[in-house]
């Protein structure tokens, strides 16, 4: 989830969408744990940082080495 920080008097506030709160059965006054990964300065800021992508360290699934199957033996009709 992404949220925009807003000025609230002399403080900074974070608005959490209602559907996110309903998903965890949270209400006003409840204490929640938040994980802050960093600040996004632009629309695509940090896209090239592999630590932000889940599973980025895993090897990609390459189909070139996959074995053939019965489905591939027949002619395809479009």
- Read off the pLDDT of residues 32-53 as tens digits, 9 standing for 90 and up: 888 888 887 776 766 777 777 7
- Count of domains for the chain: 1
Whether residue 2 is contained in a domain is answered as yes
Write the CB contacts of 20 (distance below 8 Å, at least 6 apart in sequence).
1
Name the residue with higher pLDDT: 51 or 15. Answer: 15
Owner of token pair 């629309």: 43
- Of the candidates 12, 16, 13, the one whose C-alpha atom is nearest the C-alpha of residue 3 is 16
Range of the domain at 7: 1-33
Whether residue 50 is contained in a domain is answered as no
- Of the candidates 27, 41, 34, the one whose C-alpha atom is nearest the C-alpha of residue 1 is 34
pTM: 0.42
Whether residue 62 is contained in a domain is answered as no
- Of the candidates 55, 38, 35, the one whose C-alpha atom is nearest the C-alpha of residue 46 is 38
Whether residue 61 is contained in a domain is answered as no
């Amino acid at each position: 989830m992404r949220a925009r920080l807003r000025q609230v008097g002399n403080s900074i506030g974070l608005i959490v969408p209602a559907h996110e709160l309903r998903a965890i059965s949270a209400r006003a006054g409840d204490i929640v744990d938040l994980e802050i990964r960093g600040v996004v300065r632009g629309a695509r800021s940090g896209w090239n940082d592999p630590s932000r992508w889940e599973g980025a360290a895993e090897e990609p699934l390459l189909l070139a080495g996959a074995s053939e199957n019965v489905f591939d033996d027949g002619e395809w009709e479009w």
